[in-house]
Amino acid sequence: MWSGRWLPARCEVCGRWPAAPVCAGCQALFSDAQVMRCTRCAAALTAGPAPVCNDCRRLPSPFEACANAVAYAFPWDGLMARFKFGGEPGWAGPLAELMRARPAIAALLARADAVVPMPLAPRRLAERGYNQAWELARRLAPRRQLQSAWLRRVRDTAPQSSLPRGQRPENLAGAFAVDACHAPTIRGRHLLLVDDVMTSGATLREAALALRRAGAARVSAVVLARTDLV
């Protein structure tokens, strides 16, 4: 539920007046809360009580845990496009509140030593004018350590969405790095990565591996939306 720090307006989904940016009814109607998800990668689980999906059981994961707020579907996909590509960074506030309201995300925020937003390549940051992950992170954890300098995007890559799933890990190899000067501070800590959308998880995994190589003891991740069709 939104906290009330908004001006009266119509709900952007159903048009109800007055309402938060997304009214309580639409939040409940389009909630992801009933979907069972893997605790390691937030993929939807089709059946069974196991908390970890087959992929995460079969392959080692750099994540201790991963949680999402919503599925990447209507109406969230359209609102996120406005936030990410439409020059509307003001959506970061209500979308971060949506994330913080999920118990799994709140628990990871409480356990983490520091919050690390996913970095953008310099060219994309210049084009967009802001990093959507950073905008989410600073509102998601306003009183926590926000370490945007610890992780850098050192290589620009083709958009993951333009590639088949099997080519995505190779596309991201070596895309992230941690400066040696930050390694002593990172060593032994539990870090929480923050991003807007998780599809195959390759981008977050590569970032987590860079932090683990720099000495992080544990890395978890939280995302606004999880895409289930990849």
User: What pLDDT shows up at residue 99?
Assistant: 96
In a domain, 199, yes or no: yes
In a domain, 26, yes or no: no
In a domain, 29, yes or no: no
User: What pLDDT shows up at residue 104?
Assistant: 95
Q: Which residues of the chain are under the pLDDT cut of 50? A: 1-4
In a domain, 39, yes or no: no
In a domain, 130, yes or no: yes
Alpha-carbon distances of 28 from 13, 25, 34, 46, 144, rounded to whole Å? 12, 5, 11, 22, 28
User: What pLDDT shows up at residue 161?
Assistant: 58
Q: What CATH number corresponds to the domain at position 175?
A: 3.40.50
pLDDT digits (tens, 9 = 90+) for 142-181: 877 789 999 999 877 656 555 566 556 666 778 899 999 9
In a domain, 159, yes or no: yes
Structure tokens belonging to residue 155: 């290589």
Instruction: State the total domains in the chain.
Output: 1
| pTM of the entire predicted model | 0.89
Question: Residue 213 sits in which domain range?
Answer: 63-226
Measured distance CA(98)–CA(70) in Å, rounded = 9
In a domain, 170, yes or no: yes
User: What pLDDT shows up at residue 8?
Assistant: 63
In a domain, 30, yes or no: no
